[in-house]
Amino acid sequence: MIKRTLYFGNPAYLSLRKEQLLIQLPEVVKNETLPETFKDDAVKTVPIEDIGVVILDNKQITITHGVIEKLLANNVALITCDSSRMPLGLMLPLSGNTTQTERFKHQLGASVPLKKQLWQQTVQAKIQNQAHLLHSATGEVVKNMQIWASDVKSGDPDNYEARAAVYYWANIFPQISGFSRNRDGIPPNNLLNYGYAILRAVVARSLVASGLLPTLGIHHRNKYNAYCLADDIMEPYRPFVDKVVVEIIESEEDYQELSKNIKMRLLNIPVLDVIINGQRSPLMIAASQTTASLAKCYKGEIRKIAYPNFE
């Protein structure tokens, strides 16, 4: 089942009614001149079990503890935004799988050679997806990237990931002079940051559902990063976010600021079509297949992570 992504960019009251998310508007609730029938019609409800991601992007949102409890109990990723309306925090459940302890044990016991092989697969999948998008979007020559992808060795000791990234970012936005990928850089870095935050939440949610620790990565090891594994596993998924950003720019929409329309397009990331295991699937479902395959790799049942591609 495809889970819904709910975005709240205006003041709202979020509470529970009959195990459903109850959404009310403060200006309606507080207005004593409005008839009760109008107020009742303004109330919206959403089944908690239908939700996958919730984004809170307004300082005047009131959410009850009961809502937070139910969201986490149903493995919903809860994202909060800062004053600049960019994702700042991510809340996930502590337990999302019935065999979590066993899976933690396998993950913690993963050997260095296994993690290097998993990172090799991850880098290869990422470069292949970058090459596909770069060629389809710009017509740029990508034979070099395809060679780099095939030459990646266990652990990527030659750092082909970085080599491919330099070439990819130098060419993916040919209409933007001097563009470089930098979190604080010129637009559309702002769009990429927002899209990657959504993607990270989707992947982290899937990791928890698969009984894995999002903190313990196979390559990323920053001691200040609580989502190292999510940052590892999302790498081959990034080009799907990049594709959305390319399409926004090509539509000639003003991308200097994150408008409501642009945000709505980026919020569709969880339902983007990808190909995984030879089948077309929404990105959120594909992420679950990827993390489930990773858990099996840790357990020794299989040796390859299932990653998506464009075709």
Q: How far is CA 173 from CA 176, 178, 276, in A?
A: 6, 9, 27
Percent of residues, the chain, with pLDDT higher than 70? 95
pLDDT band at 28 (very low <50, low <70, confident <90, very high): confident
Question: Structurally, what CATH architecture does the domain formed by 100-299 represent?
Answer: Up-down Bundle (1.20)
pLDDT beyond 90 at 95: no
- Nearest Cα to Cα of residue 151 among 169, 124, 125, 131: 124
- Mean pLDDT highest for which of 21-25, 182-186, 232-236? 232-236
pLDDT band at 225 (very low <50, low <70, confident <90, very high): confident
Measured in residues, the chain has a length of 311
So what's the pLDDT on residue 39?
62
Q: Which residues are annotated as a binding site?
A: 161, 220, 235
Q: How far is CA 197 from CA 27, 77, 156, 238, in A?
A: 30, 11, 25, 10
At the topology level of CATH, where does 4-91 sit? Ribosomal Protein L15; Chain: K; domain 2 (3.100.10)
> Strand 20-24 vs strand 12-17: parallel, antiparallel, or unpaired?
antiparallel
Q: What is the pLDDT of residues 40-69, one digit of tens each?
A: 667 899 999 999 999 999 999 999 999 999
The DSSP letter of residue 309 is: B
pLDDT beyond 70 at 17: yes
So what's the pLDDT on residue 27?
79
pTM of the model as a whole:
0.90
Structural domain spans, the chain: 4-91, 100-299
Q: What is the pLDDT of residues 233-251, one digit of tens each?
A: 999 999 999 999 999 999 9
pLDDT band at 97 (very low <50, low <70, confident <90, very high): low
CA pair distance 210, 204, nearest whole angstrom: 10
Residue 137 CB coordination number (10 Å): 19
Q: Which residues are annotated as a binding site for Mn(2+)?
A: 161, 220, 235
Q: Does residue 295 contact residue 211 with C-beta atoms inside 8 Å? A: yes
Q: What is the pLDDT of residues 63-87, one digit of tens each?
A: 999 999 999 999 999 999 999 889 9
So what's the pLDDT on residue 32?
67
- Nearest Cα to Cα of residue 10 among 54, 59, 46: 59
